[in-house]
Amino acid sequence: MLYMSKFSIEQEIKLLPIHEYAFLKPEEVIFSEEVREICEGNSCGMYGTSWACPPAVGSLEECQKQCLEYEDTFIFTTATQIKNSYDVQGWLEARIQHEKLTDKVGEVFRKYTKSPLILSTEGCNVCKNCTYPNEPCHFPKKMYPATEGYGILVMRQAQLCNMRYNNGANTVTYFSMIFFN
């Protein structure tokens, strides 16, 4: 049954504009306290402001335990050309497109698996203003916690999966991960 699901999933995702992808076991995912410390240092400005980021996602130990409850993991990227390394608008547009693709990939996984855990980029941007911490998330099926917020060391994970973390000058690469049974 699992083989058929993976085969079916792979047949569908090959039709999507994914740059690179790999399947791996959750035990192969690289979790790092250092990544969480960067989050807690609020280098991206999202710490404590979103249901998709720490501390709302739980401790590193809780995130790792949640990921390890799944049987398989799927990691994928998009790589988008931008004008130059200072093209902030290009970065933002590439992220929006990556999140739209993550929605499509998530739909495929939801069709073949039950309750996949979908992680994506830099916190959630579904709502203009997040309800955290005053109200529950209004769109929990559209809110994808950040891979780094879960403590995943994406740069090393890419190497382990034979994927490129950097796809050249004037390119922005985004990663998403799906944990599934």
Residue 29 near residue 157, CB atoms below 8 Å? yes
Give the rounded percent of residues in the chain with a pLDDT score beyond 70.
98
Domain boundaries, the chain: 2-180
**The model's pTM:** 0.93
Per-residue pLDDT reduced to its tens digit, 84-116: 888 999 999 999 999 999 999 999 999 999 999
pLDDT digits over 47-80, tens only?
A: 889 999 999 999 999 999 999 999 999 999 999 9
- Spell 26-55 as b/e; 16+ CB within 10 A means b: beebebbeebbeebeeeeeebbebbbbbbe
